[in-house]
A and B are shown apart, each in its own frame.
Chain A
Amino acid sequence: MVNKKIKLFLILSSLIFIFFTFYLGLNKNNYYTTENIVYKKIENFESYEFFSNKKISFKNISPDKKYIILNIWSSWCLPCRKEHKNLIKLRENIKVDLIGLNYKDKFENAKSFLSELGNPYDIILKDKNGLISIEIGAYGVPETYLINNINKKIIKKYLGPINEENVKEIQSLAKQ
């Protein structure tokens, strides 16, 4: 009988141990620090500046900044419209450059989109045929990436429009 109780105790305590490890493991996944760069590096690409049509290489963007934010957007994309006010809010509160990647868009439409809703971007690059976005690994528009500008690795990736919580998170991540 005593034997049985010891067995029960051992099994239950090891289960509790496993439970808490998993529980901690769950929480672990939720905060990212810059040390934990799990995502891939963005390979260098070349593109053209939106307004001036000047050729720009991704590696030469904002050389003095530690972080950059890359936002893939398009004037025809409805969620982008919804997201735009958050991007503006983000740009106002942050010292990091916000790079726009204009995805498969018509210049005129994109321009009127920006004049209507405001232009939060420091630089806008063109992705006329969508290949740059595919190379980066985008699933669709909009997508936002916080990138370590020194090694060009993605720190955090947001699929779909960013919300106010994401804005706060990006701010706190980029401060570190």
Chain B
Amino acid sequence: MISHLGSYSLIFCTIFAFLIILQSAKLIGNQSKIFPKKIYTIITLQLFFVIFSFSCLLIAFVSSDFSNITVYNNSHTEKPFFYKISGVWGNHEGSLLLWLLVLVLFLFLFILDTKNYDNKYKLLTVIFQEIIILGFLLFIIITSNPFDYIFPVPLEGLGLNPILQDPALAIHPPILYIGYVGTSLIFSSSLAAVINNTVNSEWAKQIKKWVFLSWIFLTLGIMLGSIWAYYELGWGGFWFWDPVENVSLMPWFCLTALLHTILVLEKRNALKNWTIVLSIATFSLSMSGTFLVRSGILNSIHTFANDPSRGVFILTFLFFLIFLAIIVLFIYSENDKKTSNNFNILSKETAVLVNNWFMMYFLSVVLIGTIYPIFLEVFTNEKISVGPPFYQKLMIPFLIPFFIFMSFGPRVKWINDKLKKINYTQIIVFISSLIIAYIIFTNSSVSYLFSSFLIAASIFLVLNSLRDFFSKSIQIPQKISHFSFSILILSILLNGIYSEEFNSNMKVGDELKFIDKTIKFKGINFDEKDNYKLLRGDFEVIDSGKNTLNFNPEIRIYNQPVISTSEADIKTNLFNDNFIVFTLLKDNEIFNVRYQHKPFMIWIWISIIMLAFGGTLAVIKYGK
């Protein structure tokens, strides 16, 4: 019953989408300042029906209605309530419904937000956004209807993959989606502004809070995914350059570039075409993310279903949107020669451009690493996978100039700045970062010349961003975000260079030495929980200072579906994470044990949260 209601309301939404597009196209010539009431009403109705349809699926999940095939495939009566809810978007069909919900919601908020703006611009934005909405509605209804039902009704569901039963992962998709979908609005409104010939400071001022908003959610979404990978997968890292991770990182680079460029457009009314290209690219990358992940062209944990018809649909739709954007851009874009893009070498405009070059470089590296294997397989039938060394080799050398540039960039003034003769503070900062890097390296076992330069450069960045806090010309959100970013970089580097790992097979009672530590496997005990059985290990790690840490990692064997997962036990403090995870090898006797020492892990999460917090301050400020 409830599934039918959900299904019908999706059909209503499709009709509304058609209506809105037709009506808006008809009213575009209208000079009135007031947004047409009719369209506003239909958009509200559309929002209502999408929310209704989403609630239907939610109710089906919560009440374990197994006549619904999505619920049958992804839920189970014994599943905890919280995960029944997150099950709604923990699958292909439901997650698309969530996409749709955010798309429609954002359009609605956009209309509310732009009360005083030109009607033509708004109507054009509505049209582009509704084209995207329509595409997704058709995609859902034709290839992935979440409300399909089965008969006879099964007594029990197939359960949700227990790896996905994790609080960070439960909220990871919605947060990431808000980021992805937010870029759709930037896409629609930038095309509208191009046609309306209003790509100017005023437009930049209006759209920039949407850029920041998407960026915040994208940043947090990526972080949640990576927290999950770190705690749940137990591979002992937070970033693996997995294609699916890369796919979320690419729009992030693009959006970060846009975030800076939009300020140039606002303040200086320059870089117009570039801003539009970035807006289009960001959304296209978000969409390709969905395509690559959902079509099954990449094999990963995110691949819900290998249904080629879905892949073809998203691919066609994605390219349709890109073609549309390019054609709009070519017909309507004004000749850039009229606006001056000739900046002084020493000006904030140039600084932002340099930032963009770096972002574009990092983006291209990730893009090539991600799609090259697909191309290679198509043309030569050879399967390869591009691993971390590729990304590290291509990115790390560029980090040093990037850090140094970022240390100076924020302080450069608009239009034309003057180079001061000798800047004593700068010299002090430079020397102190060299000293700190030297101290770090003399006190550690690792010593590569290159890493010491890298660390020195990142410390230089940290000190400079810290110094920026006293600068009057830089705004607070920027101070916070840049400082957090420098901390993030430093923690990632230190973490990468100083992580230690021990991996061995052990029996109960074994005691092994690892550098200056002793690892004892004291015992295991069995336990039974609601929907899984568990084996709990008892480990003790004694370091050279005779400090003892106890670890109780678990191996969980879930009932439905039967799958075993390893839960790492992680001891976190401000300076490092200690981490033990173990897996069963044979007969409940021999285990594979992995111990890891990861410095500054917590700072990676803290700095990302601070980074997003800086963005939030900016949104609050610009929202006024």
Write the residues of chain A forming the contact surface with B, with a CB cutoff of 8 angstroms.
Answer: 4, 7-8, 11-12, 15, 19, 21-30, 36, 38, 78, 103-104, 130-131, 133-134, 138-141, 160
User: Which residues of B have CB within 8 Å of A140?
Assistant: 158-159, 560-563
How many A-B pairs have beta carbons closer than 8 Å: the answer is 75
User: Of B154, B322, B383, B563, which one neighbours A15 at CB under 8 angstroms?
Assistant: B322
Q: How far is the CB of A17 from chain B (nearest CB, A)?
A: 10
Q: How far is the CB of A173 from chain B (nearest CB, A)?
A: 16
Write the residues of chain B forming the contact surface with A, with a CB cutoff of 8 angstroms.
Answer: 154-156, 158-159, 161, 291, 295-297, 299, 306, 308, 311-312, 315, 319, 322-323, 326, 330, 374-375, 377-379, 383, 557, 560-564, 584
User: Which residues of A have CB within 8 Å of B330?
Assistant: 4, 7-8
User: Which residues of B have CB within 8 Å of A36?
Assistant: 383
User: Which residues of B have CB within 8 Å of A15?
Assistant: 319, 322-323, 326
CA distance A134 to B330 in the complex (A): 56
**11 cross-chain CB contacts under 8 A:** A4-B330, A22-B297, A25-B375, A28-B378, A29-B296, A30-B306, A36-B383, A38-B383, A104-B562, A134-B564, A141-B562
User: Which residues of B have CB within 8 Å of A8?
Assistant: 326, 330
B158 touches A160 (CB 8 A): yes
Given contact pairs A36-B383, A78-B154, A78-B155, A26 touches B562 in the complex (Cβ within 8 A): no
User: Which residues of B have CB within 8 Å of A28?
Assistant: 377-378
User: Of B291, B299, B374, B562, which one neighbours A139 at CB under 8 angstroms?
Assistant: B562
A26 touches B377 (CB 8 A): no
Interface SS of chain B: helix, strand, loop or mixed? mixed
CA distance A130 to B584 in the complex (A): 13
Q: How far is the CB of A142 from chain B (nearest CB, A)?
A: 11
B377 touches A25 (CB 8 A): yes
CA distance A74 to B306 in the complex (A): 26
User: Which residues of A have CB within 8 Å of B297?
Assistant: 22, 25-26, 29
User: Which residues of B have CB within 8 Å of A4?
Assistant: 330
Given contact pairs A8-B330, A130-B562, A26 touches B308 in the complex (Cβ within 8 A): yes
User: Which residues of B have CB within 8 Å of A133?
Assistant: 562
Most chain A CB atoms below 10 A, which of B158, B319, B377, B562: B562
A134 touches B319 (CB 8 A): no
Given contact pairs A27-B308, A28-B378, A78-B155, A139 touches B323 in the complex (Cβ within 8 A): no
Q: How far is the CB of A169 from chain B (nearest CB, A)?
A: 13
A29 touches B306 (CB 8 A): yes
User: Which residues of A have CB within 8 Å of B557?
Assistant: 130, 134
Q: How far is the CB of A144 from chain B (nearest CB, A)?
A: 15
Given contact pairs A4-B330, A11-B326, A134-B557, A21 touches B375 in the complex (Cβ within 8 A): yes
Among residues of A, the one whose C-beta sits closest to the C-beta of B379 is: A21
Among residues of B, the one whose C-beta sits closest to the C-beta of A135 is: B584
CA distance A26 to B526 in the complex (A): 45
CA distance A146 to B561 in the complex (A): 21
Among residues of A, the one whose C-beta sits closest to the C-beta of B161 is: A139
CA distance A22 to B288 in the complex (A): 11
A12 touches B562 (CB 8 A): no
User: Of B155, B295, B308, B562, which one neighbours A134 at CB under 8 angstroms?
Assistant: B562
Q: How far is the CB of A160 from chain B (nearest CB, A)?
A: 7
CA distance A23 to B308 in the complex (A): 9
CA distance A25 to B288 in the complex (A): 14
B326 touches A29 (CB 8 A): no
A26 touches B383 (CB 8 A): no
User: Which residues of B have CB within 8 Å of A19?
Assistant: 315, 319
CA distance A141 to B306 in the complex (A): 20
Given contact pairs A4-B330, A11-B326, A12-B326, A26 touches B563 in the complex (Cβ within 8 A): no
CA distance A36 to B381 in the complex (A): 9
Among residues of B, the one whose C-beta sits closest to the C-beta of A8 is: B330
CA distance A104 to B557 in the complex (A): 13
What 3 pairs across the A-B complex have the smallest Cβ distances?
A140-B561, A26-B311, A139-B561
B374 touches A134 (CB 8 A): no
Among residues of B, the one whose C-beta sits closest to the C-beta of A134 is: B564
Q: How far is the CB of A58 from chain B (nearest CB, A)?
A: 14
7 further interface pairs, Cβ-Cβ under 8 Å (given A8-B330, A134-B557, A140-B562): A15-B322, A19-B319, A22-B374, A25-B297, A26-B295, A27-B308, A139-B563
